[in-house]
């Protein structure tokens, strides 16, 4: 391995995204050859890199999993107060991390991988990648409220206006929404602007990947066709080792 920036190396190992790697470095959680790491440093093959005292190493095989996150499971790496976290629910021989969160009270499709470059590309909001949700609310919707949501609404807590999105009504209380951004608790906040409370929220698709027949708590490896399309849509060349 040629010298590589530390945050990129941690991402390539599937530990986390480059942005989260920078945070780990800032927190003093990363050491290189026993010394605390600093931002911008590079590492080589012979270097010993540890995160919170555990040595990490690059994984040859790049994997991507589709996981049906149940309600109650938290998307976090470490949370002493969480009863169930994603990284402990997935029993897979290769360490993977998630691309994009689903809050504790939501369920549905979560993509996980040990390919940091792919995770970064999927999470980059400027790429306008689609994510589809089925949202059921306590109250019935009017056509005017739905149209306002389509055009974009102002979220006071985040001081942001949502991007225009696709919304279809499945029944009086159920919407199918396709978003191209991932603001914190975005759908729940959007619904709140129209006076609606979310009863259930389920993500059914991320880009070209769908839940298919997965049940809550189950996961599957992506097919060759799914992987090829996913990498292509992210503007990346699929690694030869992605299929083992």
Candidates 103, 105, 115, 233; catalytic one: 103
Residue 10: is it exposed, middle or buried by C-beta count within 10 angstroms (0-12/13-18/19+)? buried
Find the farthest-apart pair of alpha carbons in the chain and give their distance in angstroms, rounded. 63
CB 110 within 8 A of CB 216: no
Task: Report the half-sphere exposure of 108 (CA within 13 A, side-chain side).
Answer: 20
Q: What's the distance, Cα to Cα, between the start and end of the chain in Å?
A: 19
Examine the residue annotation and report whether 103 is marked as an active-site residue of this protein: yes
Compute the distance between CA of residue 207 and CA of residue 205 in angstroms, rounded to an integer: 6
CB 38 within 8 A of CB 186: no
> What are the structure tokens assigned to 168, written together?
């279809």
Catalytic residues: 103
């Amino acid at each position: 391995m040629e010298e590589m920036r530390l945050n990129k190396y941690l991402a390539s190992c599937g530990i986390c995204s480059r942005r989260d790697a920078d945070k780990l470095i800032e927190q003093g959680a990363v050491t290189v050859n026993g010394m605390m790491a600093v931002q911008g440093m590079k590492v080589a093959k012979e270097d010993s890199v540890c995160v919170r005292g555990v040595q990490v190493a690059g994984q040859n095989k790049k994997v991507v999993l589709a996981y049906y996150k149940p309600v109650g499971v938290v998307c976090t790496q470490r949370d002493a107060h969480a009863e169930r976290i994603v990284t402990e629910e997935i029993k897979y021989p290769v360490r993977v991390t998630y691309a994009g969160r689903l809050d504790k009270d939501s369920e549905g499709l979560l993509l996980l991988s040990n390919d940091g470059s792919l995770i970064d590309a999927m999470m980059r909001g400027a790429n306008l990648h689609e994510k589809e949700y089925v949202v059921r609310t306590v109250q019935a919707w009017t056509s005017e409220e739905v149209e306002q949501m389509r055009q974009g609404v102002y979220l006071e807590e985040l001081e942001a206006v949502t991007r225009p999105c696709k919304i279809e009504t499945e029944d009086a209380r159920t919407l199918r929404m396709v978003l191209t951004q991932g603001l914190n608790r975005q759908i729940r906040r959007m619904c709140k602007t129209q006076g609606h409370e979310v009863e259930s929220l389920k993500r059914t698709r991320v880009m070209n990947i769908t839940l298919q027949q997965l049940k809550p708590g189950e996961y599957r490896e992506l097919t060759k066709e799914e992987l090829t399309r996913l990498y292509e849509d992210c503007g990346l060349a699929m690694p030869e080792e992605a299929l083992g």
